[in-house]
Amino acid sequence: MSDRTFGNVLGARNRKQLATIAEALNSTDDRELRQELRRLVEALSQKGLEWMHRNDAGLREKMEAALHPRFERTSSGYLLELVSVPPVGLSFYEAAKVHHRKSPEAGKAEVDAAQRQRLAAQRAIVLLTALTLNAECGLLSPRPCARCARYFLKNRADQNSYCSTQCAHSVTSRVCWKRDHEAKLKKARRAIAKCSGPQWKQQVSRRAGLSVKWLTRAVNKGELAIPVLS
Ligand SMILES: [Zn+2]
């Protein structure tokens, strides 16, 4: 994610801003940001901001410092905007502390990782602050989609579980298939109990109304035990 400026963020009625936040929550390029922001948004939807401020030392101060006011001259007068404070990386001293007594390669890798973590934490705070100020923050799903694990913007107020009808349908159809499959297995087991001999598959097929091919597949998958051949 680029360092976007959250201009005019105070009480913004801004779907676009929420889309940017969802994008960061789903980011595959910036895993550190994704992880840190998910941790914060999860706490926000489950425990609320007050709880977070009480339990996460320094969070409130960091949020208060994440955006700063700026006067903008516009054609119709002045506009007070809140813009995001650019993230600040590790200082030379901090980097040296991370690097301390390590081989050049190992030290560099650790400094890079600490740097990414630092920037991600600051960006996450900016995005969290913008989210809490967004007048339409309720449009962001309270948790990731139950199927694809992506955060999404809701189309309806009660859309809490799935990001799309596609995701919802694919889960429903899988559940249906499983229920159907279990019922078939049950039928097959009942029939198997009454059949014997080398021709058992044909007998079971007739009794249970299942194809021989289906029975073979179920046996190969270990879902059905073959009858004791006498
Ligand atoms: Zn989904």
Would you state the pLDDT for residue 173?
76
pLDDT for 66 equals 93
pLDDT at 11: 60
> Tokens for 117?
């973590």
Cβ-contact 101, 17 below 8 angstroms? no
pTM score, whole prediction? 0.70
- Residue 194 pLDDT: 86
CA of 147 to the centre of ligand 1 (A): 5
Distance 43 CA to ligand 1 centre (A): 21
pLDDT along the chain (230 residues), means of 10: 53 81 95 96 95 95 92 83 86 89 88 93 94 91 93 90 90 80 91 85 90 91 78
Ligand 1 centroid–CA 167 distance in Å is 5
**Residue 17 CA, ligand 1 centroid: distance in Å:** 20
Task: Report how far ligand 1's centroid is from the alpha carbon of 192 (Å).
Answer: 40
How many whole angstroms from 163 Cα to the centroid of ligand 1? 4
CA of 52 to the centre of ligand 1 (A): 28
SS (H, E, C) the chain: CCCCCCCCCCCCCCHHHHHHHHHHHCCCCCHHHHHHHHHHHHHHHHCCHHHHHHHCCCHHHHHHHHEEEEEEEECCEEEEEEEECCCCCCCHHHHHHHHCCCCHHHHHHHHHHHHHHHHHHHHHHHHHHHHHHCCCHHHECCCCCCCCCCCCECCCCCCCCCCCHHHHHHHHHHHHHHHHHHHHHHHHHHHHHCCCCCCHHHHHHHHHCCCHHHHHHHHHCCCCCCCCCC
Measure the CA–CA gap between 196 and 203, rounded to whole angstroms: 8
Tell me what pLDDT residue 3 has: 43
Tell me, in angstroms, the distance from the centre of ligand 1 to residue 194's CA: 45
Expressed in angstroms and rounded, the spacing between residue 152 Cα and the centre of ligand 1 is 8
Residue pair 20/4 in contact (Cβ under 8 Å)? The answer is yes
Q: How far is the CA of 73 from the centre of ligand 1 (A)?
A: 42
Expressed in angstroms and rounded, the spacing between residue 119 Cα and the centre of ligand 1 is 28
- Single-letter code of the amino acid located at 223: E
Tell me the CA–centroid distance for residue 172 and ligand 1, in Å.
13
Instruction: Decide: 215 and 205 in contact? Cβ < 8 Å.
Output: yes
CA of 178 to the centre of ligand 1 (A): 20
Q: CA-CA distance, 47 to 67, in Å (whole number)?
A: 23
